[in-house]
Amino acid sequence: MERTLVLLKPDAVQRGLVGTIIARFESKGLKIVGLKARTFERSLLEKHYEVHKERPFYGNLVDFMSSGPVCAMALEGKDAIAVVRTLVGKTNAREAAPGTIRGDYGMSFSNNLVHASDAEDTAKFELGLWFSDAGELSDWTPA
């Protein structure tokens, strides 16, 4: 089983799409093993997007992500990283295919509703950043 980090960005929260987007992941069969929502510290977002530090959009991205509540989720399932990326769609929401989350609900490159880990090493890094293994992630199996 694989775990991946998903962030529902401030635009998803502000547009009232949290339930709709979570339902996509749950309906697909992914398991929620961690979930929390609030406005997170700028320092956390700076670390999360460190890989983009030199890119021109970095400052705006960190501003946006720390501007309001984000819903952070740890999802588990077989090949969860790739499955979630397929459900989410292309980064530029205008180019994302219909049927994907960004394709169905987004029109923006930067405010693209969802972040999802893109590889095994980034998923490990990002899950460690957003959730403490000790109390914030649950191992569970259906009864």
Q: Would the annotation count 112 as a binding residue?
A: yes
Q: Give the CB-nearest residue to ligand CMP.
A: 115
Residues 15-48: b if buried by 16+ CB within 10 A, e if exposed: eebbeebbebbeeeebbebbbeeeebeeebbbeb
Considering 72, 77, 115, 130, which one is annotated as catalytic? 115
Q: Would the annotation count 124 as a binding residue?
A: no
Read off the DSSP letter of residue 98.
B
Q: What are phi and psi of 69, to 5 degrees?
A: -60, 140
Distance CA 72, CA 4 (A): 11
**Of these, 66, 86, 110, 122, which contacts ligand CMP (CB under 6 A)?**
110
Smallest distance from ligand CMP to CB 6, Å? 10
Residue 52 a catalytic site member: no
Binding letters toward ligand CMP, positions 23-62, x by CB under 6 A: -----------------------------x----x---x-
Catalytically active residues are 115
